[in-house]
């Protein structure tokens, strides 16, 4: 489907989460191109061009939360304890962490204490060794989330064994104020090249989180200038930043001579000599440039989907395009504090025309209709029995009957708030409105730009329905259901990610129980059960799964899109002719 939305709608709010694609065990991606190493075997050398519209918001590892940025930097400039393997076609293996700076991926008997041993000889770009203290300092920065906002700080702050203040925030306030430093020093300890993390509850997913996010990355204390370092890259990977990074324009990566490939196995081929990131280029221009393939544009890859108006132009270039399901599910959430009658919500869900929506977004190359908020590729996924019964095109007549039976006054006014700014999404919302209006609603569309965050975060806002999008942080429904529907994140001033202000004690309790399940499949089944409960309340309306229809330059080799990098192009394998 579209561009900005892909990540910006998803990154809906404070704790917006996106990152890893899904799939712990299942299969993914009805890929229609060939998904193997494409464009021939990659060789070293050449200049790769990375075209994108949406600028990186943060290049500070602790602040990154956008899947694309996490993986582009992870394959080039930032190394971590663990990572996902590159070029791995088996979805399960692709999402199984392998060691990076760690000598191995450890196990933990109780899930609460994790001890990792570091490799020798991994160096920063200034030649100093990456040591245990760097990892310890790195994760400590997540606690200064008021200064270093934007990152997935909730994982270290909730799991590390540090007491909480009365307001629920950790007693450790980060490395700048150093308040509660002793508490942090107990939770994360260094012994030679062994680092130990102590959690307050079992967290079997820890290696997944390390590999799927950057918040546990090392950071050099002597290089830390706080928020001013937002676009500063101090590399320990095969590349380093040449000059400075300019937001909206991009930057250029060149080879890092301190990087020793012998310490790095199976992931970073680091084929191109340079990688240039060009930000802010409109999708249609990206497509046009790659199709034309003039000069360096023939070496280009992108994270932006081909837009429907360009489909016909891209069609003949089959060996330069790929089409895969993305990890992102888009959905609507009724505001439970305003639309209190479950029958009205049911009528909304019944009248929702997902088929028309998909059509307006550009058809089956843009999206497929969804029947659950959990991506079917996540481990343990079960079909949603409520939404899969509603026809994809909706049933306005049935919806009208529900409304009539419920005895509500018609036309029933509905204000649908979404993040505007994209004409295609505007058209798609027009389709939703049409279906709802047929069922007896009177829908007013309310596209907002950046004020969206301000509005949706207020518990007393007057919108009836919101739009949202979500992708799991790492391959587990544990990073979907609890983040979106746990009522304990609601406060008098904030709704967190629970825009619909969904409150159900049974769901909250079930979430707590599911968190203790260590088997990924069983956990997934538990979350699907919770999903069913929420669906019975019509706490959300699933819409579609976004598809990635990507084009790349004709000189690009070794091109891979796997679950390891959330279906974005893998910079660990790519090369140019």
Partner 1 sequence: MYAYVIRRLFSGLVMLIVMSFATFLMFFNGAVDPVRYTCGKACGVPGVLERNRAMLGYDDPVPVQYAKFVKGVFVGRDFPDDPALRKSAPETIARCDAPCLGYSPKENSTVTSMLAERAPISASLAVAAFIMWIAFGVGGGIVAALYKGRWPDKLIVGTALIFYAFPTFFIGLFLYKFVAIKWELTPQPVYTAFTEDPVAWAMGLFLPGLTLALFYIAGYIRLTRSYVIEAASEDYLRTAKAKGLDKRTILWKHTMRSALTPLITLAALDFAGLLGGAIITETVFNYQGLGKLAVDAATTWDLPVTVGIVLTLSTIVILANIIVDVLYAVIDPRVKLA
Partner 2 sequence: MSIQPPAEDLSTDVVATAAEEVGATKIEGRTPWQLVRMRLRRDKTTMFILVVVLFGLIMGITAPILSRLGVLDPFSGNRELIDVTGGGLPLGRFGGVSWAHPLGVVPGTGQDVLSRLVLGVTYSLGIAVSATLLAIGLGTFVGVVAGYSRGWLDFWLSRLIDLTLTFPQTLMLIALSPIVVRLLTDRFGVPEGDIANGMYVVGVLGLFGWPIFARVIRSQVLSIREREFIEAARSLGANNRRIYAKELLPNLWAPILIYSTLLMPQFISAEAALSYLGVGIKPPTPTLGNVLRDSIQYAESDFIFFFFPALFIAILVLSLNLLGDGLRDALDPKADR
Q: Which residues bind partner 1 (CB under 8 A)?
A: 11-16, 144-147, 149-150, 153, 169, 175-178, 224-231, 246-249, 280-282, 284-285, 288-289, 292, 294-295, 421, 449-451, 453-454, 457, 494, 496
Q: Which of 460, 532, 473 shows the shortest CA–CA distance to 501?
A: 460
Residues 6+ apart with CB under 8 A from 473: 17, 18, 19, 20, 152, 209, 212, 213, 479
Which entry of partner 1, partner 2, none binds 14, CB below 5 to 8 A by partner kind? partner 1
Residue 500 Cβ vs partner 2, minimum distance, rounded to whole Å: 20
Nearer Cβ to partner 1 (496/572): 496
Q: Which of 120, 423, 460, 493 binds partner 2 (CB under 8 A)?
A: 423
Name the token pair of 305.
Answer: 């989907």
444 binds partner 2 (CB under 8 A): yes
Nearer Cβ to partner 1 (292/516): 292
Q: Which stretch binds partner 2 (CB under 8 A): 7-15, 37-45, 104-112, 447-455?
A: 447-455
Q: In this structure, are residues 558 and 573 in contact, taking their beta carbons and an 8 Å threshold?
A: yes
Q: How far apart are CA 174 and CA 274, in angstroms?
A: 36
Residues 6+ apart with CB under 8 A from 483: 15, 17, 470, 497
Q: Which of 36, 46, 136, 4 shows the shortest CA–CA distance to 553?
A: 46
Which entry of partner 2, partner 1, none binds 224, CB below 5 to 8 A by partner kind? partner 1
Which entry of partner 2, partner 1, none binds 524, CB below 5 to 8 A by partner kind? none
Angle at 471 between CA 467 and CA 477, to 5 degrees: 110
The conformation of residue 560, written as its DSSP 8-state character, comes to: -
Q: How far apart are CA 65 and CA 474, in angstroms?
A: 12
Task: Write phi, then psi, for 551 (nearest 5 degrees).
Answer: -125, 150
Q: Is 398 exposed, middle or buried (0-12, 13-18, 19+ CB in 10 A)?
A: middle
Site for partner 2 in 356-385 (CB under 8 A): 356, 358-366
Residue 356 Cβ vs partner 2, minimum distance, rounded to whole Å: 6
Q: How many residues bind partner 2 (CB under 8 A)?
A: 39
573 binds partner 2 (CB under 8 A): no
**3-state SS, residue 241:** strand
Residue 236 Cβ vs partner 2, minimum distance, rounded to whole Å: 40
429 binds partner 2 (CB under 8 A): yes
Name the token pair of 25.
Answer: 């065990």
CB atoms near residue 214 (< 10 Å) = 27
Site for partner 2 in 337-356 (CB under 8 A): 355-356
Residue 434 Cβ vs partner 2, minimum distance, rounded to whole Å: 6
For 183, the enclosing helix (H) or strand (E) is helix 181-187
Residue 528 Cβ vs partner 2, minimum distance, rounded to whole Å: 29
Residue 69 Cβ vs partner 1, minimum distance, rounded to whole Å: 15
**3-state SS, residue 134:** helix
Name the token pair of 416.
Answer: 């649908």
Nearer Cβ to partner 1 (86/425): 425
Residue 531 Cβ vs partner 1, minimum distance, rounded to whole Å: 24
Angle at 15 between CA 14 and CA 21, to 5 degrees: 135
| Strands 321-334 vs 465-470: parallel, antiparallel or unpaired | antiparallel
Residue 543 Cβ vs partner 2, minimum distance, rounded to whole Å: 15
Name the token pair of 250.
Answer: 């991009």
Which entry of partner 2, partner 1, none binds 294, CB below 5 to 8 A by partner kind? partner 1
Which entry of partner 2, partner 1, none binds 179, CB below 5 to 8 A by partner kind? none
Residue 497 Cβ vs partner 1, minimum distance, rounded to whole Å: 9
Nearer Cβ to partner 2 (310/335): 310
Q: Which residue has the tokens 């998803």?
A: 10
Nearer Cβ to partner 2 (358/514): 358
CA 40, 327, 76, 52 dihedral sign is positive
Q: Which stretch binds partner 2 (CB under 8 A): 47-55, 206-214, 307-315, 384-392?
A: 307-315
Radius of gyration of the chain (CA): 23
Which entry of partner 1, partner 2, none binds 29, CB below 5 to 8 A by partner kind? none
Nearer Cβ to partner 1 (165/383): 165
Q: Which of 57, 446, 486, 531 binds partner 2 (CB under 8 A)?
A: 446
Q: Which of 4, 13, 284, 533 binds partner 2 (CB under 8 A)?
A: 284
Residue 433 Cβ vs partner 2, minimum distance, rounded to whole Å: 7
Residues 6+ apart with CB under 8 A from 393: 353, 354, 355, 356
- List helix spans (H) across 250-334: 283-292, 311-314
Which entry of partner 2, partner 1, none binds 308, CB below 5 to 8 A by partner kind? partner 2
Q: Which stretch binds partner 2 (CB under 8 A): 65-73, 230-238, 444-452, 515-523?
A: 444-452
Q: Which of 15, 232, 445, 521 binds partner 2 (CB under 8 A)?
A: 445
460 binds partner 2 (CB under 8 A): no
Q: How far apart are CA 245 and CA 250, in angstroms?
A: 6
Q: In this structure, are residues 14 and 7 in contact, taking their beta carbons and an 8 Å threshold?
A: no
Which entry of partner 1, partner 2, none binds 391, CB below 5 to 8 A by partner kind? none
Q: How far apart are CA 450 and CA 432, in angstroms?
A: 22
Which entry of partner 2, partner 1, none binds 446, CB below 5 to 8 A by partner kind? partner 2
| Strands 274-278 vs 47-51: parallel, antiparallel or unpaired | parallel
Angle at 160 between CA 154 and CA 163, to 5 degrees: 100
Residue 425 Cβ vs partner 2, minimum distance, rounded to whole Å: 10
Residue 278 Cβ vs partner 1, minimum distance, rounded to whole Å: 8
Task: Write phi, then psi, for 390 (nearest 5 degrees).
Answer: -80, 130
Which entry of partner 2, partner 1, none binds 309, CB below 5 to 8 A by partner kind? partner 2
The residue ranges that bind partner 2 (CB under 8 A) are 284, 307-313, 355-356, 358-366, 415, 420-421, 423-424, 426-431, 433-434, 444-447, 449-451
């Amino acid at each position: 489907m579209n561009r900005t939305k892909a990540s910006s709608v998803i990154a809906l709010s404070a704790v917006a989460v996106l990152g890893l694609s899904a799939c712990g065990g299942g299969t993914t991606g009805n890929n229609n191109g060939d998904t193997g190493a494409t464009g021939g075997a990659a060789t070293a050398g050449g200049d790769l061009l990375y075209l994108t519209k949406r600028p990186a918001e943060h290049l500070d590892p602790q602040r990154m939360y956008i899947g694309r940025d996490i993986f582009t930097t992870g394959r080039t400039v930032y190394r971590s304890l663990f990572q996902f393997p590159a070029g791995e076609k088996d979805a399960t293996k692709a999402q199984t962490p392998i060691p990076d700076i760690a000598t191995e991926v450890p196990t933990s008997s109780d899930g609460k204490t994790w001890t990792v041993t570091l490799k020798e000889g991994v160096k920063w770009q200034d030649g100093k060794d990456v040591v245990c203290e760097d990892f310890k300092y790195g994760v400590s920065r997540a606690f200064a989330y008021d200064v270093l906002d934007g990152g997935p700080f909730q994982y270290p702050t909730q799991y590390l064994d540090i007491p909480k203040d009365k307001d629920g925030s950790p007693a450790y306030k980060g490395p700048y104020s150093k308040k509660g430093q002793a508490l942090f020093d107990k939770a994360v300890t260094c012994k030679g090249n062994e680092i130990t993390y102590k959690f307050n509850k079992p967290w079997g997913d820890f290696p997944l989180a390390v590999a799927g996010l950057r918040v546990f990355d090392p950071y050099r204390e002597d290089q830390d200038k706080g928020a001013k370092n937002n676009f500063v890259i101090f590399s320990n990977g095969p590349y380093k930043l040449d000059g400075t990074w300019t937001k909206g324009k991009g930057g250029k990566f060149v080879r890092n001579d301190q990087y020793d490939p012998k310490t790095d196995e199976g992931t970073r081929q680091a084929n191109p000599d340079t990688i240039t990131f060009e930000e802010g280029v409109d999708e249609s221009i990206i497509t046009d440039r790659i199709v034309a393939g003039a000069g360096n544009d023939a070496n280009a890859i992108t994270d932006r989907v081909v837009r429907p108006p360009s489909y016909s132009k891209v069609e003949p270039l089959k060996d330069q395009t790929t089409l895969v399901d993305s990890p992102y599910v888009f959905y609507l959430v009724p505001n439970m504090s305003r639309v209190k009658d479950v029958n009205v919500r049911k009528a909304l869900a019944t009248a929702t025309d997902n088929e028309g929506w998909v059509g307006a977004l550009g058809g089956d190359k843009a999206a497929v209709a969804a029947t659950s908020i959990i991506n079917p590729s996540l481990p343990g996924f079960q079909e949603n029995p409520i939404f899969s019964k509603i026809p994809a095109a909706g049933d306005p007549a049935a919806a009208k009957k529900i409304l009539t039976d419920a005895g509500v006054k018609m036309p029933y006014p509905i204000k649908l708030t979404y993040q505007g700014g994209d004409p295609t999404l505007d058209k798609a919302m027009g389709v939703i409105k049409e279906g709802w209006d047929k069922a007896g609603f009177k829908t007013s569309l309310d596209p907002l730009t950046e004020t969206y965050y301000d509005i949706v975060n207020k518990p007393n806002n007057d919108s009836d329905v919101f739009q949202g999008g979500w992708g799991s942080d790492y391959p587990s429904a544990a990073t979907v259901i609890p983040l979106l529907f746990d009522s304990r994140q609601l406060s008098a001033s904030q709704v967190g990610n629970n825009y619909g202000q969904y409150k159900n004690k049974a769901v909250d309790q079930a979430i707590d129980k599911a968190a203790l399940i260590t088997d990924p499949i069983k956990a997934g089944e538990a979350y699907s059960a919770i999903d069913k409960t929420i669906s019975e309340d019509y706490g959300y309306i699933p819409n579609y799964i976004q598809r990635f229809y990507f084009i790349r330059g004709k000189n690009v080799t070794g091109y891979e899109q796997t679950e390891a990098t959330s279906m974005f192009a893998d910079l660990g394998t790519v090369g140019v002719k």
